[in-house]
Amino acid sequence: MAIEQDIQRAKMRHGIIGDSPALLEAIGRALRVAPIDLSVLIVGESGSGKEFFPKIIHENSPRKHRKYIAVNCGAIPEGTIDSELFGHVKGAFTGATADHKGYFEEADGGTIFLDEVAEMPLSTQARLLRVLESGEYIKVGSSNVQKTNIRIVAATNKNMLDAIRNGKFREDLYYRLSTVHIEVPPLRERGHDIMLLTRKFLHDFSDNNHTPPTELTTDAKQMLSGYRWPGNVRQLKSVVEQVALFEAGKTVYRTCLAKYLPEAGASNMPVPMGENNFDYNKDRELLFAMIFKLQLDIENMKKQLAGDGNNARININQNDLKREPRKLIPAYEVDHAAASPTIVRTHDYDNTEARHTTQDLGHVAEVGYAAVDDPAHIKTLEETERETIVTALDRNDGRRKATAEELGISERTLYRKIKQYGLERHN
């Protein structure tokens, strides 16, 4: 009985919505393992809500008063990840002008969340295995062995057994990390949770943005329940917020809803957790980020216009905006096989938590407005992305670090995009 109460408490504390047995089971497992000092691996598709779990584990463990550091292994350049995790000594490499503490030193006594752990380079995996086995590590450029007492919680949306088969992940490390496995279920398997989440996201959106409430017909609700949700809760939130914005105050029928659901016909198809799925999810995530930002800026624009007292213009723009989902959705169906992966999660050096990067794409919104003003030309995702990067590079005088920071993407991703779009001259 007590565990049920603890599950409800954890849900409340983190704003986790859902009552499906598989979700409750996952939270229950996190709570049971929390006080016991074992490594935990959280697995589940992209957008399924894995990031709640390491926090639940940390705050229900005896380490709760010590540091919790979230590290996104996919967002740190390969050349610096060892130094970030384990620190370096002065003179270890060009630019190492002073000793640097790594996360394993900083979080001593606490918990480190290794997100996207499958992205960790093999050389770093060897160091990590040593820490897990003996608590020992060596700073980059040093020969002194140091001790640390860290609990590791890792997460991945990749099929780790595939990664092991392909020689990208050490089998011995995998078994060390996954002493306890927690599976976060895909949204399509959570039944009524889809409606609970929809209701919450619709309500939050109209509440936060003072828009009239939107209703869904029974058919539309069934459509949401039967959709396969490849981007899981992240995708549902994005879809519901688009509907709440563009269909504000209306009753939404199935046919209208279909505009917001890519490949709405292909419901309940299993999503493979293979190599390509990773890239697919990343590109989708970037698009979500753009749509989110576009929505926010539209809201701001509406408020500004309302402030001007220019109601006629608001009406005209609202009519224009109603067409937006049609323009944006096809771009969602970008050829993911051809598209290169886009890491949209950033590593936050100052904060203790890895953050999503849905916040910093202001320029994308400008491009979005251009599309609204000029319906004749609808930019493709690639054009939008290229333009975004060029503008940011110009604004930062070609400085890649600052540009990556402004865009909320890793430097590694920026390098790849610069190459992909032939933008080397901007440096």
* Residues in touch with ligand ATP (CB under 6 A): 15-18, 44, 46-51, 157, 197, 233-234, 237, 281
Alpha carbon distance 45, 278 (integer Å): 9
DSSP, collapsed to helix, strand or coil, labels residue 88 as: strand
Nearer to ligand ATP, 54 or 102 (CB): 54
Distance CA 214, CA 261 (A): 17
Q: Which is nearer to Mg ion, 44 or 325 (CB)?
A: 44
CB of 37 to Mg ion, least distance (A): 23
For the chain, report the end-to-end CA distance as a whole number of angstroms. Answer: 61
The span from the CA of 56 to the CA of 106, in Å, is 20
- Structure token pair of residue 319: 């009519």
The piece of 21-29, 33-41, 44-52, 54-62 that touches Mg ion (CB under 5 A) is 44-52
* Residue 18 or 262 with smaller CB distance to ligand ATP: 18
Give residue for tokens 């050389």: 123
Name the nearest CA neighbour of 85 among 37, 38, 54, 123: 123
* Residue pair 262/332 in contact by the 8 Å Cβ criterion: yes
50 vs 176 by CB, closer to ligand ATP: 50
Minimum gap (Å) between residue 189 Cβ and ligand ATP: 13
Residue nearer to ligand ATP on the CB measure, 157 or 357: 157
Cβ atoms of 310 and 257 closer than 8 Å: no
Give residue for tokens 């608590």.
Answer: 135
Burial of 162 (0-12, 13-18, 19+ CB in 10 A): middle
Nearer to Mg ion, 127 or 282 (CB): 282
Please name the residue that has the structure tokens 């975004």: 388
Find which of Mg ion, ligand ATP, none residue 234 binds, CB within 5 to 8 Å per kind. ligand ATP
Residue 307 partner contact from ligand ATP, Mg ion, none using kind-dependent CB cut-offs of 5 to 8 Å: none
Stretch that binds Mg ion, among 49-57, 169-177, 180-188, 231-239 (CB under 5 A): 49-57
| Residue reference for tokens 């089998």 | 171
Residue 48 binds which of ligand ATP, Mg ion, none (CB < 5-8 A, kind-dependent): ligand ATP
Contact yes or no for 84/127 (Cβ under 8 A)? no
> Residue 206 or 318: which CB sits closer to ligand ATP?
206
Name the residue with the smallest CB distance to Mg ion: 51
- Smallest gap from Cβ 370 to Mg ion, in A, equals 32
Q: Which is nearer to ligand ATP, 44 or 341 (by Cβ)?
A: 44
Q: Pick from Mg ion, ligand ATP, none: which does 157 bind, CB < 5 to 8 A by kind? A: ligand ATP
Q: How far is the CB of 153 from Mg ion (least distance, A)?
A: 12
Residue 16 interacts with which of Mg ion, ligand ATP, none, CB < 5 to 8 Å by class: ligand ATP
Stretch (H or E) spanning 299: helix 275-308
Q: How far apart are CA 352 and CA 132, in angstroms?
A: 21
Contact window for Mg ion (CB under 5 A) among 51-59, 103-111, 286-294, 396-404: 51-59
Residue 46 · residue 232 · CB < 8 Å: yes
* Residue 46 contacts which entry, Mg ion, ligand ATP, none (Cβ below 5-8 A, type-dependent): ligand ATP
Minimum distance from residue 327 beta carbon to ligand ATP (Å): 25
**How distant, in Å, are the alpha carbons of 287, 365, 379, 387 from that of 290?**
5, 7, 13, 13
Residues 143-172 that bind Mg ion (CB under 5 A): none
The binding site for Mg ion (CB under 5 A) comprises 51
